[in-house]
Amino acid sequence: MYDDLAKKFREFQDGKYRVREFGKHIVAHQGICHGQLTFKGTRVLVTVVLESLTRPGRTIEQVAVDYHLPVAAVVEMLQLTAVMMRSQLRLPDPHPDEIPPAKPAKRQISTARQRVHNAPHL
Domain membership of residue 76 (yes or no) is: yes
CB half-sphere exposure, 96, CA atoms < 13 A: 0
Better-predicted residue by pLDDT, 107 or 92: 92
Domain membership of residue 117 (yes or no) is: no
Domain membership of residue 114 (yes or no) is: no
pLDDT of residue 75: 94
Domain membership of residue 70 (yes or no) is: yes
Give the count of domains, the chain: 1
Domain membership of residue 101 (yes or no) is: no
Domain membership of residue 15 (yes or no) is: yes
pLDDT of residue 62: 95
- The pTM of the full predicted model, rounded to 2 decimals, is 0.65
Question: What digits encode the pLDDT tens for the residues 6-53?
Answer: 555 677 777 788 888 988 999 999 989 989 999 999 999 999 999 999
- Domain limits for position 66: 3-96
Domain membership of residue 122 (yes or no) is: no
DSSP secondary structure string for all residues of 1-49:
--HHHHTT-EEEEETTEEEEE-SSSEEEETTSGGG-EEETTS--BHHHH
Domain membership of residue 106 (yes or no) is: no
pLDDT of residue 118: 59
